[in-house]
Structure 1
Amino acid sequence: MKNILLFGAGKSATVLIDYLLANAPRQKWHITVADNDLMLIKSKIGKSYYATPAAFDIKDPAVRQQLIQETDLVISLLPPALHIVIARDCLQFNKNLLTASYIDPEIRKLEKDIKKAGLLFMYEMGLDPGIDHMSAMKLIHSIEKKGGQIYCFKSYCGGLVSPESNDNPWQYKISWNSRNIVLAGLSGAVYKEKGKVKEVEYHQLFDQNKTVQIPGLGKLAYYPNRDSLSYVDVYNLANIPTFMRATLRYPDFCEGWNALIKLGLTDDTRKQQTNHMEYFAWASQNIPVDPNLSHEENVAAFLGVSSKSKLLRQLKFLGILNGELINLEEQTNAGVLQHVLDTKLKMEPSDKDMIVMLHEIEFERRNMGTKLHSYMIVQGEDNLRTAMAKTVGLPLGIMAKLVLSGTLELTGLQIPVMPEVYNPVLRELEEYDIRFEESFE
Structure 2
Amino acid sequence: MKNILLFGAGKSATSLIDYLLTNAPRQKWHITVSDHDLMLIKSKIGKSYYATPAAIDIKDNAARQQLIQDTDLVISLLPPNLHIIVAKDCLQFKKNLLTASYIDPEVRKLQDDIKKAGVLFMYEMGLDPGIDHMSAMKLIHSIEKKGGQIFSFKSYCGGLISPDSNDNPWQYKVSWNARNIVMAGSSGATYKEKGKVKELSYEHLFDHSKIIQVPGLGKLAFYPNRDSLGYMEAYNLQDLATFMRATLRFPDFCEGWNAVVQLGLTEDTHKIQTDQLTYNKWATQHVTPEKQSGPEEMMAQYLGVSTKSKVIRQLKYLGLLSTDVINLGEQTNAGILQFLVENKLKMEPADKDMIVMMHEIEFERRNMATRMHSYMITQGEDNVRTAMAKTVGLPLGIMAKLILQDKVTLTGLHIPVMPEIYNPVLKELEEYDIRFEESFE
| Cα separation, 2, equivalents of 1:23 and 1:145 | 35
- In structure 1, the residue corresponding to 2:331 is in which secondary structure? coil
Please say if 1:115 is aligned against 2:115: yes
CA distance in 1, matches of 2:243, 2:213: 18
- Residue 403 of structure 1 aligns to which amino acid in structure 2? I
Tell me the equivalent position of 1:427: 427
- The one-letter amino acid of 2:15's match is V
Q: How does 1:42-441 map to 2 (within 5 A)?
A: 42-289=42-289, 292-441=292-441
Q: How far has the Cα of 1:382 moved from its partner?
A: 0.4
Consecutive unaligned residues of structure 2, counting only runs of 5 or more, are: none
**TM-score with structure 2 setting the length:** 0.99
> 2-side partners of 1:54 and 1:423: how far apart?
34
For residue 294 of structure 1, report the CA deviation from its aligned partner: 2.2
Residue 291 of structure 1, CA deviation = 6.5
Cα-to-partner distance string for 1:150-206 (whole Å, 9 max, x where unaligned): 000000000000000000000000000010110111111000000000011110000
Residue by residue over 1:371-404, the C-alpha shift from the partner in whole angstroms, topping out at 9 and shown as x without a partner, is 0000000000000000000000000000000000
Distance 1:82 1:317 in 2: 33
Q: Partner amino acid for 1:198?
A: K
Provide the rounded CA distance (Å) in 1 between the counterparts of 2:369 and 2:281: 56
CA displacement, residues 318-346 of structure 1 (integer Å, 9 cap, x when unaligned): 11112110011101100000000001000
Q: What SS does structure 2 have at the residue aligned with 1:156?
A: strand
Equivalent residue letter for 2:95: K
Q: Secondary structure, in 3 states, of the residue corresponding to 2:243?
A: strand
Asked if residue 34 in structure 1 is aligned to residue 34 in structure 2, the reply is yes
Q: What secondary structure does 1:423 align onto? A: helix
Give secondary structure in 1 for the equivalent of 2:311. helix
Instruction: Provide the residue aligned with 1:25 in structure 2.
Output: 25
In structure 1, give the amino acid aligned to 2:208.
Answer: Q
Distance, in Å, in 1 between the alignment partners of 2:182 and 2:41 is 26
AA matched with 1:429: L
CA drift of 1:436 comes to 0.2
Q: CA separation in 1, counterparts of 2:412 and 2:322?
A: 53
Q: Deviation of residue 269 (structure 1)? A: 1.4
Letter matched to residue 285 of structure 2:
Q
**Number of equivalenced pairs:** 441
Deviation at residue 292 of structure 1 after TM alignment: 3.2
Amino acid at match of 2:434: I
SS of 2:234 mapped into structure 1: coil
For 1:382, what is the secondary structure of its paired residue? coil
Deviation at 1:287, TM superposition (A): 0.5
Counterpart residue identity of residue 80, structure 2 = P
Partner SS, residue 233 of structure 1: helix
Separation (CA, whole Å) in 1 of partners of 2:291 and 2:321: 15
Q: What is the CA-CA distance between 1:81 and the residue it aligns to?
A: 0.5
SS of the residue aligned with 2:150?
A: strand
CA distance in 2, matches of 1:177, 1:247: 16
| Structure 2 letter corresponding to 1:52 | T
Q: Tell me whether 296-305 or 14-23 shows the greater mean CA deviation.
A: 296-305
- For residues 341-372 of structure 1, the C-alpha deviation after alignment (integer angstroms, 9 at most, x for no partner) is 00100011010100000000000000000000
Q: Secondary structure at the match of 2:71?
A: coil
- Alpha-carbon distance in structure 1 between the residues aligned to 2:400 and 2:295: 53
Separation (CA, whole Å) in 1 of partners of 2:286 and 2:197: 33
Shift in Å at residue 433 of structure 1?
0.1
User: How far does residue 290 in structure 1 lie from its aligned partner after superposition?
Assistant: 5.6
2 CA distance for matches of 1:334 and 1:63? 32
How far residue 413 of structure 1 moved from its aligned partner, in angstroms, is 0.4
Question: After superposition, what is the alpha-carbon deviation per residue over 1:66-109, rounded to whole angstroms, capped at 9, x for unaligned?
Answer: 01000000000000011000000001111000000000110011
Question: 1-side partners of 2:209 and 2:14: how far apart?
Answer: 34
Q: Distance in 2 between matches of 1:349 and 1:289?
A: 41
Identity %: 76
User: What amino acid sits opposite 1:94 in the alignment?
Assistant: K
Give the CA deviation at 1:298: 1.1
What is the match of residue 6 of structure 1? 6
The alpha-carbon deviation at position 274 of structure 1 amounts to: 1.1
Distance, in Å, in 2 between the alignment partners of 1:345 and 1:291 is 33
Report the 3-state secondary structure (helix = DSSP H, G, I; strand = E; otherwise coil) of the residue aligned with 1:114: helix
Which is worse superposed, 295-304 or 147-156?
295-304
Matched residues in 1 for 2:245 and 2:301: separation? 35
What's the CA shift for 1:295?
1.8
CA distance in 1, matches of 2:292, 2:224: 40
Q: Which moved more, 1:234-243 or 1:319-328?
A: 319-328
Whole-angstrom CA distance in 2 between matches of 1:144 and 1:209: 31
Q: Within 2, Cα distance between the matches of 1:300 and 1:120?
A: 53
Amino acid at match of 2:253: F
